[in-house]
Amino acid sequence: MTCVILTTDTLHHRYFVNRIARTVPPIVVLERRTTPQWKAYWRAFRREISLAALVENPYLYRAYRRFHRLQDEFERDAFFRGVPADFTGAADLIHTDTVNSTACLQLVDSARPSLIVSFGTGLIGRELLGRPGLKINVHRGILPRYRGLDSDLWACWFRDFSRIGTSIHLLDAALDTGAVVEQQRLALTAGMRIHHLRHHTTLLAADIVERVIGTLGHSSHIETTPQDASRGSYYSYIPPIRRALAIRRFNKHVRGLEASPRPAFRERRSGPQAW
């Protein structure tokens, strides 16, 4: 089978691609980030001109420098200990400004993939959605409660620690609203830090997608469950002050856990869906 992965160039995305490559060498399309941080910041500020919009702006990335540094250091060691932190398993690697570009559409038409996996890109356009094959998205959050961005951090903000995990769902025209293929919740343990969460939820994502590939190898049916959008909300990047409080709430929660590790558990969705 042929698999196309639409993603961006980050450490956890590199690991994910290399994991999937153990099962089937994917064609990888890397989407570039084209909007400068400062422009996104002021665009968000102009939508609601206020002091809160200035200091609680979700694009105030500079406030996250320590968090991102700790996250990258942990992932570089956990994902790539002793091996190059590079895309090593891709059958082909293509760069584009957007996965909805003509070049990307032509690539998909030429490859005719059985599976298209989106992980961390912008909204997938209708032209790409109309191409043949199963199209799924990796969402590092529990649907339908947390759609959008920073789902694990929003769960910490709401002290909703049982809803940290990963969902794989069908791609559709909206963001994170497609029927759920499978999801796993992460069992937190003492000693975890909040900058470890992206690593753990990416491991869950790779596990689930490997199972999807295995199913497609012998069946044209993928079980899915439609989402009830009324049971959740869409969230953008978590603003700096809420992020800081989310970190404090997470740390307080894990300090109260027993030191003995517990495995992550899987919440598998059912309901036949033919492809």
CATH code at 3-268: 3.40.50.12230
The phi-psi region of residue 255 (left if phi > 0; otherwise alpha if psi is between -120 and 50; otherwise beta) is alpha
| pLDDT in 10s for each residue of the chain, 275 residues | 899 999 999 999 999 999 999 999 999 999 986 555 546 554 654 566 555 555 565 555 555 788 889 999 999 999 998 778 899 887 889 999 999 999 999 999 999 999 999 999 989 999 999 999 999 999 999 999 999 999 999 999 999 999 999 999 999 999 999 999 999 999 999 999 999 999 999 999 999 999 999 999 998 789 999 999 899 999 988 888 888 899 999 999 999 986 545 555 444 544 434 33
Task: Provide the pLDDT for residue 70.
Answer: 94
Task: Provide the pLDDT for residue 273.
Answer: 40
Task: Provide the pLDDT for residue 130.
Answer: 96
CA-based nearest residue to 9, from 32, 26, 27: 32
Q: Where are the domains of the chain?
A: 3-268
Would you say 225 and 271 are in contact if contact means Cβ atoms under 8 Å apart?
yes
Displacement of CA 250 from its chain's centroid (Å) = 20
Helix axis angle, 11-21 relative to 65-80, nearest 10°? 20
The dihedrals phi and psi of 4, each to the nearest 5 degrees, come to -115, 130
